[in-house]
Amino acid sequence: MPTPSMEDYLERIYSLIEEKGYARVSDIAEALEVHPSSVTKMVQKLDKDKYLIYEKYRGLVLTPKGKKIGKRLVDRHSLLEEFMRIIGVDESHIYQDVEGIEHHLSWESITCIEYLVQYFQADPVRMAELQRIRQEDEQKEE
């Protein structure tokens, strides 16, 4: 099982490959705001653990295992962002909040959140009712 740090790298590598068709050490370093030497060390570790294949000066390719986990991590991140929107978290806080919680939730909790998101998305009336409850509560506080 990958560590939270490994998950961050796999998620970013998967996203870069989906967006650009490739992921270079410099792209990963820029995206994660770390030094290229840190990326190289992690990429070597991910290679050793068979999440990707890394050839110095030639780049990297995700293995089927790495692709599967990378997609799952990207999907988890997207799901949590959508959940935050549904419950009314200000857009300016969503990314940082998701980054703060995504590694601390079990996959069982993620699945339960997924059901809750589906429940609210299935019926706009439910979304409106949740927003009404929130607005009423905010008015009470004023």
User: Do 95 and 81 form a contact (C-beta atoms < 8 A)?
Assistant: yes
Residue 8 is assigned to a ligand binding site: yes
Does the annotation flag 99 for ligand binding?
Answer: yes
Question: How much is the CA Rg of the chain, to the nearest whole Å?
Answer: 18
Q: Is 91 annotated as a binding residue?
A: no
Q: Is 35 annotated as a binding residue?
A: no
- Is 103 annotated to bind a ligand? Reply is yes
Residue 31 tokens, joined: 């995206």
| Total residue length of the chain | 142
Contact 54, 42 (CB under 8 A): no
Interior CA angle at 135 toward 134 and 137, to 5°? 65
Q: 52 pairs with which residues across the strands?
A: 62
Q: Would the CA dihedral through 49, 52, 55, 60 be positive or negative?
A: negative
Q: Is 55 annotated as a binding-site member?
A: no
| Bind-site residues | 8, 11, 77, 99, 102-103
| Bind-site residues for Mn(2+) | 8, 11, 77, 99, 102-103
